[in-house]
Structure 1
Amino acid sequence: MAGDAGDSPFRFGETIPAGTVLEGPVPAWFAPVVPPEPPIPFTHDLLEVSERYVVVDKPHFLPATTNGRIVRETVQTRLRVELDNPDIVPLHRLDRLTAGVLFCSADPGTRAAYQKLFQRRQVTKTYRARVTAEPPVGDSWTTVDLPMRKVAGEREVRVTCGGTPTRTRVRRTGDRTVELQPATGHTHQLRVLLAHLGCPIVGDDTYPVDAGLDLRDFTGPLGLVATRLELTDPVDGRPRRWRSGRRP
């Protein structure tokens, strides 16, 4: 903590009286007032709870973490309250509209070990998508490399020269269904990829056409589910695998 390290004159947990004049910028925690939020009528399922981590099956429409507009109605906040653990933090991206397996750290002491797995791309994440047209891929895995760029102030991510390189494995699994394994973690990577291939995901409100953001519209779930997550536990060396019970 900043106080323990000598970087702040205040100790961790110390309340700073209103009106206190500071000599300069001071690292400090603050607790903003969070207004009441309408409940999101979907619940997560606990897949595994341990001292080190919590794995959940996230529903569509429920954010993993706060996005600035939603604070209370998130997987992170719900888990912290439900399990009485303020240290729970999701360790990877799962969009609000995407359902499926979400891995969360529950212990600051082992968090870095699990974070490194995600940073080093040593976690296998498999998704299944239902698309609006026949995908131009076969039954075997095909690797697709695309440069993507998120422009500040825009919802859409663009495929453009000079963008951030992304890599995704994709294969057909049935009539207008595909399986995907992203090797990188760019915003909206799978949604942008499938729209670029001419087979947007069913229910996508942004690709290929931005229909506008409505956080209270629960009528058309996105046809995308994170179906599996696999890793080798960095603490005990055991292989671990979780599956979602949801379908796109």
Structure 2
Amino acid sequence: MARTSASTRRARALRPNSPVGSWRPPAREGISPRKTVLVGRVPADVAYWAASAGDSPFSPGERLPAGRILERPVPAWYHPAVPPEPPIPFHYEVLYADRDLIVVDKPHFLPTTSNGRIVRETVQTRLRVEYGEDEIVPLHRLDRLTSGVVVCSRNPATRGAYQELFARRKVHKEYHALVSSPLERAAGVVDLGMRKERGERQVRVDPAGTRTRTWLEGRGDEVVLRPETGHTHQLRVLLNYLGSPIVGDDTYPVDKGLALYDFSTPLALVATSLWLRDPFTGKRRRFSISRDWRGTLGQL
């Protein structure tokens, strides 16, 4: 069977696939618009634009007059009012960039994407503003308190191929952590069920919960981890369960409460490297942080 060239695969990915009649306003200050469905009177709180044609009486992108009575539901876009936010005084380092990807070393305390409370001070919003590109989207997420490698897509046409790698667990990650007490087991794979209840910050170990799988190796107060699954707080829960909670963890074993702007104690967990096989070239690509991760913990 003849092999498909990288250029052919890329050309196929670049074919437009947006449905006819769709429209979306550009981001504003790096913040994406939101979609809603209006019924009855058009509110006057913010501007609204028709989202799509279909059976709507408005053309895609047409401004909906405030006060207009809508006789049928109309999908619409709007820019939410986003108030100023306290600055987060830590910055990412760009490790790599090409026409498809931007790879950064995310600092501790900076969210990857909006968490509902923080919208402006995120990796996604900052990158969009810095590069002037509305389509920059992280392909995966690190916890706000975790630092390290984050891969972002900047090209919507090729994004799906990279997203599929993450969905199929074809992307490999390595983390390093400092723990409060040495890990008793030397190395091996741990399977653990985990469950997160709505409204609770802590994830619980539950044999009937979602299965997680992690390879780890203890090296004194340092642990190397390679997760094969991606559950919320997976590595933090695992090490706490094994009796070696991560230094600086504000949630395990004791939940100290959410403190978004307390930068005094970084979580000693760093995503040091990530590797994948490129879906277009077939080549193995590895992205790693360039800093001494242990040394930088003491500088925060």
Range into which the TM-score falls when normalised by the shorter chain: over 0.9
SS in 2 for 1:193: helix
- Name which of 90, 97, 117 aligns with 1:49: 97
- Name which of 233, 236, 246 aligns with 2:281: 236
Task: Output one character per residue of 1:146-189: Cα deviation in whole Å (capped at 9) or x when no partner.
Answer: 111110010000001311111111112x3210010111110000
2:212 aligns to what?
Answer: 166
Counterpart AA for 2:250:
D
1:207 aligns to what?
Answer: 252
1:196 aligns to what?
Answer: 241
2:262 aligns to what?
Answer: 217
- Name which of 69, 72, 75 aligns with 1:27: 75
- Name which of 150, 157, 164 aligns with 1:116: 164
Distance 1:242 1:169, change over 3 A: same
Task: Output one character per residue of 1:167-220: Cα deviation in whole Å (capped at 9) or x when no partner.
Answer: 111112x32100101111100000000000000000000001000110010000
SS in 2 for 1:227: strand
The equivalences for 1:137-156 within 5 A come to 137-138=185-186, 140=187, 142-156=188-202
What TM-score results when the alignment is normalised by the length of structure 2? Answer: 0.78
SS in 2 for 1:16: coil
- Aligned equivalents of 2:145 and 2:55: distance in 1? 40
Please, which runs of 5 or more residues in structure 1 have no aligned partner? none
Distance 1:8 1:80, change over 3 A: farther
What TM-score results when the alignment is normalised by the length of structure 1? Answer: 0.94
- Name which of 122, 126, 132 aligns with 2:174: 126
SS in 1 for 2:204: strand
1:16 aligns to what?
Answer: 64
1:40 aligns to what?
Answer: 88
- Name which of 134, 137, 153 aligns with 1:89: 137
Indicate if the aligned counterparts of 2:82 and 2:119 stay in contact, CA closer than 8 A.
yes
**Aligned-residue offset at 1:15:** 2.4
Distance 1:12 1:125, change over 3 A: farther
Instruction: Report the count of equivalent residues.
Output: 245
Indicate if the aligned counterparts of 2:193 and 2:207 stay in contact, CA closer than 8 A.
yes
**Aligned-residue offset at 1:8:** 6.2
Decide which moves more: 89-98 or 7-16. Answer: 7-16
- Aligned equivalents of 2:195 and 2:72: distance in 1? 37
SS in 2 for 1:225: strand
> Larger relative CO (CA 8 A, sep 6+): 1 or 2?
1
Task: Output one character per residue of 1:10-68: Cα deviation in whole Å (capped at 9) or x when no partner.
Answer: 44433222223333433322210100011100000001111111100000000000000
Indicate if the aligned counterparts of 1:53 and 1:104 stay in contact, CA closer than 8 A.
yes
- Aligned equivalents of 2:114 and 2:230: distance in 1? 18
The percent of aligned pairs where both chains have the same amino acid is 59
